[in-house]
Structure 1
Amino acid sequence: MLTKGGCPKNALSIKDALEVLEGRWKLLILFALSTGKKRFGQISKAVPGITDKTLSKELKNLEANKLITRNVYDTFPPTVEYAITEHGMSLEKVMEELHFWGLAHRNLIIGKPVKAD
């Protein structure tokens, strides 16, 4: 049975998850934050290729979806740190499985074994 949007009824939860995590950067940002709090510049270095504008937009989106928190400290200049929430950390197994799937896929396509970290 299909919903009004044409999605099978039992796939709505997958559709919802993909809408929250869509794009090439969100999981990489969450992966970077899974090791601890980081400032904007630290996240930028941990996610090569992302522009500051895109990182800012993605951080706001992740915060709106309660996957990360943004803490501003009363210093001069203000210090801002981002941290993954417990809800965000619930994606840890998903990120780990994607890591291993990506290694296997790369090995299949390129034909060269890649070591797991």
Structure 2
Amino acid sequence: MESKNIVTSDNACVLQEILKVIGGKWSMSIVYILFSGTHRFSQLEKSIPHINTRMLIKELKTLASFDIVSRKVYATVPPTVEYTLTEKGKMLKPIIDDIYEWGKVNM
């Protein structure tokens, strides 16, 4: 007998909320890079091929608004900005690792 997953509207709403956080085109790439530690803006920009500055800023602001990434600004000229995963962001590691492994096998 084949089992079926029943998706209720509550489950669908939770999935939609999750996708608001990590569903952006570049969000998982940013989080994946930050698993290795704190990075400056320019380091992130160089680490993600084909992302433009405006999109990186937008994704980082979104991730920060959901408390996935923390942003620290240093009073230098020009300003130095560093990004780090929060504890909440670090909890995404096994999930993103699983998605990465799935992609290696199936893509």
Q: What is the CA–CA distance in structure 1 between the aligned matches of 2:65 and 2:106, rounded to whole Å?
A: 32
Query: Is it true that 1:99 corresponds to 2:100 in the alignment?
Result: yes
My pick for the range that moved more, 11-20 or 97-106, is 11-20
Amino acid at match of 1:79: T
Give me the identity figure in percent.
37
Report how far residue 36 of structure 1 moved.
Answer: 0.6
Amino acid at match of 2:41: F
Report the secondary structure of 2:63's partner residue.
helix
Task: Report the equivalent of 2:76.
Answer: 75
Q: What is the CA–CA distance in structure 2 between the aligned matches of 1:15 and 1:24, rounded to whole Å?
A: 15
Which structure 2 residues correspond to residues 19-58 of structure 1 after superposition, within 5 A? 19-58=20-59
Gaps of 5+ in 2: 1-7
Q: What is the CA–CA distance in structure 1 between the aligned matches of 2:77 and 2:11, rounded to whole Å?
A: 51
Ranked by relative contact order (alpha carbons within 8 Å, sequence separation 6 or more), the top structure is 2
Report how far residue 15 of structure 1 moved.
Answer: 1.8
Report how far residue 73 of structure 1 moved.
Answer: 1.1
The answer (yes or no) to whether the contact 2:41–2:82 under 8 Å persists in 1 is yes
Q: What is the CA–CA distance in structure 1 between the aligned matches of 2:19 and 2:25, rounded to whole Å?
A: 11
The answer (yes or no) to whether the contact 2:71–2:83 under 8 Å persists in 1 is yes
Report the secondary structure of 2:59's partner residue.
helix
Runs of 4 or more, structure 1, over 3 Å off, are: none
Task: Report the equivalent of 1:66.
Answer: 67
Task: Report the equivalent of 1:112.
Answer: none
My pick for the range that moved more, 54-63 or 8-17, is 8-17
Root-mean-square deviation (Å) = 1.2
Gaps of 5+ in 1: 1-6, 107-117
